[in-house]
Chains A and B, each alone.
Chain A
């Protein structure tokens, strides 16, 4: 076990610096605007209809939700690394807001679906609903991580956190790429890269599991903290799964192709 000494502090600072470096730029405040960049090309009439505006509002709300979710995850992991209870508790209020946004998203989507949209519009609304669900779940995972952080902060740090911030960085980047692909049809290939990266997060998770088991075998007093950390890692791995779902939904949106549950 490592005492909270200079060495640990240094490691912590290092981990945080790396994590922040990757995540400090919050997040896909991608430009709003119309849902699709490619306006109708035929019939010479370029229309921006009331319908387009409503779809655009749905998209904006989803992006707000996404940026809050990303912020939540970033804060939860930061609260763990910096041992900051106050920051951990902020995640809770943010999560409540995300939950409200999910309900608003559903209400908007149902209103839009009642107008019997077709083709791209139909796929867009369905996909927006599903993404909002995945974001909401990711927000829940962030709050779960924050709760574990508060518990872990009551005891000395078990070990320098290396893999956890790395996993978190990867999961966040996956969410970001999936949403970038959602916003820009041109970047739709990004969604496919997300699918591949889920494997990396999974293997990192397994590696971390093995490491924590060895800590537990080493000394029973480590067990509580190890279990908390195990949960944190599990939650991050789940976030990467949600990012993968989002990427699959985005591929469906752009290509109309269902790529779920394929053996890679």
Chain B
């Protein structure tokens, strides 16, 4: 197991059904605070499903049923009195395909803070600048904040989505293959950004790129067929994993 740190997200015996299909078969994993945790595993192993559990994105799918518990900072996020909007403010998400709103760059970032009650123009300006700086995008867009976000390059759009996610200062950032559609340079920028962000945020990232996991994550969990096979420090997982399944996956021998 990774060196003991504060577990921010405690996942206990989590079982998730899509209709009658059991997609997560009793997963236990503690995500450490202010670290980057990578989820790896072949397609369909449940890693994205688990990631989506952390901000209850699976609520949007009718057939989904969840058993077990997820606690974030000690609070059971599936309990009835949890406000999902408030939860998603705490747990931001960045997707594989960048999905900026068809609005200006400024409005993309200002949208959520405004939704959560920030009305003052000066405050919003400050948040937009801070978020864009945090996402390493400010210098590239500061002179065209009013132009459409759709005109940005793929890598810029993805960083804009990160800026949008951090504009409301979440505790946790979930990233589902955030760089898989980007070229190596844009990927490097995202990876660099993840390193910077982890001083303030707890990051969970799903990736199919093993080298990316070695470069950016502190801990890595390997999933297979809905089970968490092995969770350890990234160094251990990629140099000397304990389980044969992990070994075979990271060396590219199956999956």
Q: Which residues of A are in contact with B by a Cβ distance under 8 Å? A: 38, 40-43, 45, 47, 49, 51, 116-123, 255-256
Contact = CB atoms under 8 A, between A and B. Distances in A.
A122 B253 CA distance: 14
Contacts of A45: 254
Contacts of A119: 237-241, 246-247, 250-251
B211 interface: yes
B231 interface: no
A119 B248 CA distance: 9
B251 A120 contact: yes
A42 B240 contact: no
Interface string B208-233: 00110010000000001000000000
Given A43-B254, A121-B251, A116 B239 contact: no
Nearest to B255: A43
A123 B245 contact: no
Nearest to B245: A42
Give the residue among B245, B252, B253 with the most A Cβ atoms within 10 A: B253
30 contacts: A40-B248, A40-B254, A41-B245, A42-B224, A42-B244, A42-B245, A42-B248, A43-B254, A43-B255, A49-B252, A51-B252, A116-B210, A116-B211, A118-B214, A118-B238, A118-B239, A118-B250, A119-B238, A119-B239, A119-B241, A119-B246, A119-B250, A120-B247, A120-B251, A121-B251, A122-B238, A122-B239, A123-B240, A255-B240, A256-B239
B1 to A, nearest CB: 16
A41 B255 CA distance: 11
Nearest to B42: A43
Contacts of B253: 40, 47, 49
A256 B255 contact: no
A122 B250 CA distance: 10
A256 B240 contact: yes
A118 B213 CA distance: 11
Closest 6 CB pairs of A and B: A256-B240, A43-B254, A40-B253, A40-B248, A118-B250, A118-B238
Nearest to A121: B251
Contacts of A121: 251
Contacts of A38: 244
Dominant secondary structure of chain B at its interface with chain A: helix
A117 B251 CA distance: 7
Contacts of A122: 238-239
Interface of B: 42, 210-211, 214, 224, 237-241, 244-248, 250-255
Residue of A40, A51, A117, A255 with highest tally of chain B CB at under 10 A = A40
A123 B238 CA distance: 10
Contact of B239 (A49, A51, A123): A123
Nearest to A257: B240
Of listed B210, B239, B245, residue having the most chain A CB within 10 A = B239
A43 B248 CA distance: 10
A119 B250 CA distance: 7
A40 B112 CA distance: 48
B211 to A, nearest CB: 5
Contacts of B237: 119
A45 B247 CA distance: 15
Contacts of B214: 118
Contacts of A123: 239-240
Contacts of B252: 49, 51
Nearest to B225: A42
B191 to A, nearest CB: 15
A47 B251 CA distance: 12
B189 to A, nearest CB: 20
Nearest to B214: A118
A43 B246 CA distance: 12
B195 to A, nearest CB: 19
B213 to A, nearest CB: 10
B248 A118 contact: no
A255 B238 CA distance: 14
B231 to A, nearest CB: 15
B239 to A, nearest CB: 6
Contacts of B255: 43
Contacts of A47: 253-254
A233 B138 CA distance: 69
A122 B251 CA distance: 9
Nearest to B252: A51
Contact of A118 (B210, B224, B244): B210
A248 to B, nearest CB: 15
Given A117-B251, A118-B250, A123-B240, 10 more contacts: A40-B253, A41-B244, A42-B245, A116-B210, A118-B210, A119-B237, A119-B238, A119-B239, A123-B239, A256-B239
B179 to A, nearest CB: 16
